[in-house]
Each structure stands twice: as structure tokens, then as C-alpha cells.
Amino acid sequence: MITLTLAIIFGLFFMMAAVLLYVSPGIPLAIKDANGNTINGSISEKVFVHIGGIRQGMFIRIKNINNPVLLYVHGGPGFPNYFLIEKFKPGLEDFFTVCYWEQRGGGLSYTPEVTTESMTLKQLGSDAVDVTNYLRERFGKEKIYLLAHSGGTPVALSAVSNAPLLFHAYIAMAQITRQSASEKIAYEYILEKYMERDDQHSVSDMKKFDMETDSGIHLFHNSVIRDNAMHEMGIGTMRNMKSVFKDIFIPVWTCRAYTVREKLKIWKSKLIFLPETNLKREILTTDFSNLFPEIDVPVYFISGKYDLTVNIEISREYYQSLNSPLKGFYTFENSAHSPLFEEPERFRKILDQDILKSQISLSD
């Protein structure tokens, strides 16, 4: 009986390993037309470039080589979301040559060469400028567009503030401003919901966090309790994304763009390396509206109405005080933290009618 049980266990293990290898060729999906045929002249590739003294990885997708160039700066910080790009296919390539750069210390750019001391917003901002210059040189563009999401917005702010002449515009999806204040609002919301449900166990867990201290806010921000509650309540990554395990953990493992080794790097970085850095604490303790009160390029803020991961009203406050030659704020009524994936058609319309034409006709 014991022998049979062990045989079944080993059989299941090898079956799962075989499936994992099958779904991990490490090749990004080709760009295809409506009939499922690869578009002539299109490019979908994984690239490694020496940036900031280390080897950093990125995905580059081109539907039309004549399109302008867009650098996509993922959130986290340090946790790439290219798996969501391949899953939801928002179609940025219809308008741009897109570079999905994976920041130092995370994903394709996780390597033992990266020290915890180098994981600062200043260094990541410098890296973003270096990636921008690589793209400008490779594709012969004087300027590019910059789109950042959540934890990537402070990185992009640093880049666009220090080198505005390199960018046509800055597009901020879930712009981080005063994240400690955002965490407190989210905490109160989650606690109130648990109290309404009379969920005393969850209420007790929540009250363990001292939200009047920086350390308490940091612990809450990095807690499993926060992530699970936000997704369950529709205020997390996406309005309809209810499970961290089903909607994030599994999709990372099944994303065909990464090899098994690269997928292990994603999780090793998120669970072991990034918590050892001060990157999240730096984001939690900085008021970016004070640090970057002026941006010398057109700015477009995009926020989901139900976003409590990065509070929409605090982002709006920053927008209202920000000095910029042109600015627009766009509220997505059916989105939480990721309007690009939740309401892609409206996002595409804003790109086409406003951002690429330097207008704000569709803004709030």
C-alpha cells in the first residue's frame, strides 16, 4: 500500500513537471491578426541588455515598425506583470512599438549581481533612462512615450523629471503619491467590511497592525491579509480578480514567455530578495507630490474608481497640484487597480484620441 501511494505521488509530481515544462518554452506569443496568423513584419522577442552595470531583461513587441515607441514600467515595485499582458492582450502594439522592461532585481532582471543597496528609486529611475536611450538608439526615435503602473510610477517620475527631453508624454496608471495615507484608507475600509460581516477572526487579525506607525503600515502593506482582502473585495489588482492564487500565482506559472528557471526567479525575487530591500519602505514614506511638483511633458493620470491599492482620490490630489504643460485625469468607472486590463477599449480610445494627439478631450 505504501509503495502504491509513493508511486502515485511520484507519478503526479512528474506529470506536473512535464506540464510545467510544456507551458514554459520561454518564447513570448507572436503578434497575430484576427484570423490567428502571425502578422508579416511583426516582432515579439525577449531581449537582454546591459543596463546600469547589470544584465536586464525585457520583452519587445512590434506590430508596425513605424509606430512610436512606448516604455512600459511595471509595478510591484520589482514584480513584473507581463503575464497579464499575454493573458488579457490589451493591444498596446496597435499604437506603439512596446518595450516591457523588467526592473533590476525582479523577473528577467533578477540576478545575484544586484545588491540590496542598489535597489533604490534613484537607481531604478536611472535604469529607466538608460533603457529609454537604448530604445531611442535602436529604433531611431528622438523621443518615446512612458507608461507606468502603480509601483512603477515613482520610477517613471524620476526618469521623466530628470530627462524630460526624452519623452513625448508620461502616462501614469494608479499614480502613487502618499502611499502611507492610501494604506490607512484601505485598512479602514477592509476593517469596516469585516466588522459589517461580524468576522471577528479577521477583525482580530487586522487590529494587530498599528497603523499609526511607519512599521505598522509597512507590515500591513506587505501582509497576505491585505492582498487577500483586497482581491476578495474587488479593490485589488482588478475589480473581478478575486483570488491571488488563481488569478496571479497560477497565471505566472502558465505564462509561456518565461522558462521554468525565469518563473522561479520571479518568485525568488518577490518572496526572498525584494523583502530584504528598502524599496517598498522608500515608496511608503515619500510624498511624491512634494518631490516632483512639476513635470515638463504632457501628463495623463489614469485611475480606477474602485482602486484602494493606490487610492484614486490621493492620486487626484497630486494631479490637481501638479504643474505640467498639459494634463488630464481619467476615471475608469468599472475598474480597480488595472484599467488597462479591465477596460481596454476605453484605454485604447484615450491613447488614440488624446495621448497620441496631445489632447485631453476625453479627460474628466
The DSSP line for 160-193 is HHH-GGGEEEEEEES--SBHHHHHHHHHHHHHHH
Specify whether the CB–CB gap between 283 and 77 falls below 8 A: yes
Specify whether the CB–CB gap between 107 and 264 falls below 8 A: no
Q: Which domain holds residue 291?
A: 1-364
The number of distinct structural domains making up the chain is 1
- CA nearest neighbour of 280 among 219, 238, 336: 219
pLDDT at 6: 45
| Total-model pTM | 0.94
pLDDT per residue rounded down to tens, the chain (364 residues): 566 454 445 454 445 556 666 778 889 988 988 888 899 989 899 999 999 999 999 999 999 999 999 999 999 888 999 999 999 999 999 999 999 999 999 999 999 899 999 999 999 999 999 999 999 999 999 999 999 999 999 999 999 999 999 999 999 999 999 999 999 999 999 999 999 999 999 999 999 999 999 999 999 999 999 999 999 999 999 999 988 889 898 999 999 999 999 999 999 999 899 999 999 999 999 999 999 999 999 999 999 999 999 999 999 999 999 999 999 999 999 999 999 999 999 999 999 999 999 999 999 9
pLDDT at 137: 97
Q: Which three cell numbers mark 95?
A: 499604437
Distance, in Å, from the CA atom of 262 to the CA atom of 133, rounded to the nearest integer, reads 26
Give 301: exposed, middle or buried? Use CB within 10 Å, 0-12, 13-18, 19+.
Answer: buried
Distance, in Å, from the CA atom of 186 to the CA atom of 80, rounded to the nearest integer, reads 23
pLDDT at 13: 47
Q: Tell me, what CATH number does 104's domain have? A: 3.40.50.1820
